[in-house]
Chains A and B, each alone.
Chain A
Amino acid sequence: MIPKTLTIKGIRQGLLITLSEGEWGPQLDALGAYLSANPAFFRGGRVALDVGARRLNGPEIRAAAELLAHHEVELWAVLSTDPTTEAAVQELGLVIDLGPSAAPPAAGPAAEDELSRSAGPLADGLVIRRTLRSGQILRHPGHIVVIGDVNPGAEVVAGGDIVVWGRVRGLVHAGALGEEGAVICALDLAPTQLRIAGHIARSPDERRSKPVPEIAMVRDERIVAEPWSAGW
């Protein structure tokens, strides 16, 4: 479960984590605990932190950056309505708004390519109406629907279910926040790797000659994929 003190959503440049009001130290502790509990979801991601009206100094912001870095997450922006906080953020070479020009260029595999668009609150689904290409990572705490293909080298990581109206050739990870009941459906499911919660499966090396829609889920501690049939 996501702690009540923070909300997470998928945005164009990665994830946006909003910290509610309250003392900085305990808030960071809660965030840290949540990151440790869900490494699969966050690892390699880029995060913007929204700290609201809080007044923070350089060391306090650096503590957040270090906490995230410890979990292999890059902090690239800190949003605040407090000018002192903003100044401290800029001092550290971080960005203070999410404007398109503010997004740093994608660098290395850890960078979330300038991707997708903002999603609603946590429970919402995110619908992406295009093909995800090599190097693009889509991460969202709720469900994800892709209308298009997921190409080799692309990744889709969802807290909930993943539905792909197209071909899956890349890596898809449903239930990445620990939800064992999450499912993955696609018109043609031939991923490099399939993950649900903590389980991992490769697709068989043989490719199906004629693809059929399939649904994958965890059953008896293993990921199984079966052809989709109406009335499932």
Chain B
Amino acid sequence: MAARALTITSGKGGVGKTTLTANLGVALAMQGQRVVVIDADVGLRNLDVMLGLENRIVYDLVDVIEGRCRLRQAMVRDKRLSELFLLPAAQTRDKSAVQPGDMVRVSDSLREQFDFILIDSPAGIEQGFRYAVAPADGVLIVTNPEVTAVRDADRVIGLIEAEEKGPARLVINRLKPNLVRQGEMLAISDVVELLSIDLLGVVPEDQAVLGAANRGQPLAFSENSSQAGRAFHNIAQRLQGQDVPFLTFQEPSFLQRIFDFARSGGMGS
């Protein structure tokens, strides 16, 4: 079966596209899928760092497009999961080096050997976004439960609908259940009502995400040690058509809060 190409995009920057791409890549590969993640954020590459693969890069996406190497040579195999590959972005070039047709060609030549092609889109709605969605069979929209992020997500969904790149499915990242309860943050239902697309998953705010990114060891590697890790695995399963119930997020207990406090302030993580 040929791979499905899924583009992870958001409009607004910094909402967690790269985090989601890295963790989904890991979760899908752990679940036995053959996965390639493509860093389409040319000039601002991050995905290699989050996956801990930076020191293995020899060639990159732009080298492939400009014919300086073969596709296989640019792909970096994950050091932990044999079925996970990274196609890194060029760091020293800008987004004008890539055309939508290039992304379509690269993705097409990967389809036979993989089950999933995950494309980490740059923020914004310009050139980088356009080439990142060009090969997509489906799009994952990442947003945070904040008015501005949701507004930008809506804008992007409109563009995707106009280009018929759907279906677009929604991932809400960095949910803080206690803030929702205090009315300081949009609830899941508010976001879904406004965007009116399918909800694929909800990932809670988790301080461990940052540490994991810095260590190059995405949280999804230890799927049951955190709710965020669990959420990434659930999303991976839903992408394979499984019906997985949504997590319910409890207000952290008193003890948990003390623990969080110690982790964040007291112990200088």
- Grouping DSSP codes into helix (H, G, I), strand (E, B) and loop, the B interface class, with mixed when no group exceeds half, is helix
A115 to B155, CA, bound (A): 12
B196 engages A113 (CB within 8 Å): no
Contact call A133/B130, Cβ cutoff below 8 A:
no
The residue from B158, B194, B196 contacting A136, defined by CB atoms under 8 A apart: B158
Complex CA–CA separation, A133 to B150 (angstroms):
11
Q: A149-B196, A151-B194 are in contact. Are A134 and B159 (CB under 8 A)?
A: no
| Residue B157 interfacial (CB < 8 Å) | yes
Mask: chain B, 228-244; 1 = CB below 8 Å from A; 0 = not: 00000000000000000
Assembly CA distance A169 to B195 (angstroms): 12
Residues A151 and B154 in contact in the complex (CB < 8 Å), given A105-B130, A131-B196, A169-B194: yes
- Which residues of A have CB within 8 Å of B158? 113, 132-136
A109: shortest Cβ distance to chain B, in Å?
11
Is B155 within 8 A of A153, CB to CB? yes
> What are the residues of chain B within 8 A of A153 when measuring CB–CB?
151, 154-155
Cβ contacts under 8 Å, B267 to chain A? none
Which one, A114, A115, A130, A134, contacts B154 given CB within 8 A? Answer: A134
A134 interface neighbour in B155, B161, B163, B196, Cβ under 8 Å: B155
CB-contacts of A76-107 with B (<8 A): 105-106
Bound form: Cα–Cα A135–B162 in Å: 12
Residues of chain A from 108 to 153 with CB closer than 8 A to chain B in the complex: 113-115, 130-136, 149, 151-153
Q: Are B151 and A113 in contact (CB under 8 A)?
A: no
Which B residue's beta carbon lies closest to that of A153? Answer: B151
- Indicate whether B152 reaches chain A with its CB closer than 8 angstroms: yes
Nearest A-chain residue to B147, judged by Cβ: A152
Residue of B nearest to A151 (CB): B154
- Given A105-B130, A151-B194, A134 and B162 touching (CB < 8 A)? no
Q: Which residues of B contact A114 (CB under 8 A)?
A: 162-163
Query: Chain B contact residues (Cβ within 8 angstroms of A): what range?
Result: 10 to 19
Q: How far is the CA of A207 from the CA of B174 in the complex (A)?
A: 26
A149 vs B267: C-alpha distance when bound (angstroms): 48
CB distance from B145 to the nearest CB of A (A): 15
Measured CA separation A69–B159 after assembly (Å): 26
Alpha-carbon distance between A106 and B155 when the two chains are bound, in angstroms: 12
* Bound: A114/B130 CA distance, A: 14
Q: Are A130 and B161 in contact (CB under 8 A)?
A: yes
| Residue among B152, B162, B163 having the largest count of chain A Cβ atoms under 10 Å | B162
The reply to whether B162 and A113 form a contact with Cβ atoms under 8 Å apart is: yes
CA distance A106 to B157 in the complex (A): 14
B176-193 CB contact bits vs A (8 Å, 1 = yes)? 000000000000000000
A169 to B151 Cα, complex, angstroms:
12
A196 to B157, CA, bound (A): 29
Least CB distance from A123 to B in Å reads 27
- Give bound CA distance, A131 to B155, whole Å: 11
- The answer for the CA separation of A66 and B232 in the assembled complex, in Å, is 53
Give Cα distance in the complex from A136 to B162, angstroms.
10
Question: Is B152 in contact with A134, judged by CB distance below 8 angstroms?
Answer: yes
Which residue of chain B lies nearest to A131 when distances are taken between CB atoms in the complex?
B196
Contacts of B162 in A (CB 8 A): 113-115
Interface members, chain B 24-59 (any A CB < 8 Å) = none
Nearest CB in chain B: distance from A7 CB, A: 26
Residues of B whose CB lies within 8 Å of any CB of A are 125, 130, 151-152, 154-155, 157-159, 161-163, 194, 196
Chain A to chain B contacts (Cβ below 8 Å), 23 pairs: A105-B130, A106-B125, A113-B158, A113-B159, A113-B162, A114-B162, A114-B163, A115-B162, A130-B161, A131-B196, A132-B158, A133-B154, A133-B155, A133-B157, A133-B161, A134-B155, A135-B158, A135-B159, A149-B194, A152-B151, A153-B154, A153-B155, A169-B194
Interface on A for B, CB 8 Å cutoff? 105-106, 113-115, 130-136, 149, 151-153, 169
Given contacts A113-B162, A134-B151, 7 further A-B contacts (CB under 8 A): A114-B162, A133-B154, A133-B155, A134-B152, A151-B194, A152-B154, A153-B154
CB-based closest 6 A-B pairs: A133-B158, A134-B154, A134-B155, A135-B155, A133-B154, A114-B162
